[in-house]
Amino acid sequence: MAKFEDPLQQNLDFTPDEVGEEPAKKEQIEAQEPEEQPAVEANPESILPDKYKGKTVEDLAKMHQEAEKLIGKHAQEVGEHRKFFDDMMKRELLQKKAQQPTQEDEDPNEKFFKKPTEAMDDYLSNHPTIKQAQEQALIMKAQTAQQQLQQQFPDYVQVIQTPEFKQWVDASPIRQKLYQEADGGYDIASATELISTWQAISGSKQSEQQTITTKSEETRSKSLKAASVDTGATGVSSKKRYSRLALQDLLKTNPDKYYANSDEILLAYEEGRIY
């Protein structure tokens, strides 16, 4: 007789340990999963500095613009300070460079062997005794020049101090050079040339002026004689009479002479000596 197993019973065969295994695993997985924390909404103001809290967007934009302006201003000031400092350093370097000698000072002993003539000249020119002797020689030269000029031109001091003489010297580069040689180098030849030439020119000018004055007086006298007539009285000479036409002609042709004798002409009018 065949043995048949109940299919339901066959599928339900399990050990007691297997009972409740699946639920236990589910509970274990659920226990391992972390509990979800409720989301906390972050407050933006809690992370802002105090100076930005409570500010609107417009206020923040304005603060940002002012900060940019301030940064630009500071950058400009820093640039100006840098430029000023650079210029100052350049000037200082140029001044130091200009003050530095172009050639290093040579040792006198080495220079004596390399350039004996130049070394000897430098030594003599810088020696105190030589300098004193040169000063004494210059003083003697000045005294000698003064004595010679005094003998040739006793009034030369007054002559060279006159404005006319100074203007005459300044008018010519050659005379200026002669004056410098005479005044600075005590050169007798230059001084003699200047003073003698000036005296010759000024003397001729005075002679010409005297000649012109004499001729003017003679011409004026002739003009007055031409304009006057003698009254014909005997004995003591009478005052001159003047022709009105002659005076008018004198005024037209030579007004300077007419006005130079204005006193005499007016007196003649007052005394009735104009006909």
| Strand partners of residue 34 | none
Distances (CA, A) of 144 to 72, 153, 184: 78, 14, 14
3-state secondary structure of 223: helix
Q: What is the Cα 25 distance to its own chain's centre?
A: 104
Q: What is the pLDDT of residue 235?
A: 38
Burial 262-273 (b: 16+ CB within 10 A, else e): eeebeebeeeeb
| Strand partners of residue 229 | 241
The interaxial angle of helices 128-152 and 116-126, nearest 10 deg, is 70
Distance CA 195, CA 152 (A): 10
Ordered by start, the domain boundaries in the chain are 109-151, 153-223, 240-275
Q: What is the pLDDT of residue 101?
A: 54
Q: Minimal CA–CA distance to 273: which of 236, 249, 243?
A: 243
Q: Tell me the pTM.
A: 0.32
Q: What is the pLDDT of residue 170?
A: 92
Q: One digit per residue, pLDDT tens: the chain, 275 residues?
A: 445 455 545 454 545 554 445 555 555 555 555 555 555 455 555 577 777 778 888 888 888 899 899 898 888 888 887 777 667 766 766 776 676 555 555 566 666 666 777 767 776 667 677 777 777 777 887 888 888 888 888 888 888 889 999 999 999 888 888 888 888 888 888 888 888 888 888 764 554 455 555 555 666 666 666 555 444 444 334 678 888 778 777 877 887 787 778 778 778 877 888 88
Q: What is the pLDDT of residue 63?
A: 86
Q: What is the pLDDT of residue 16?
A: 52
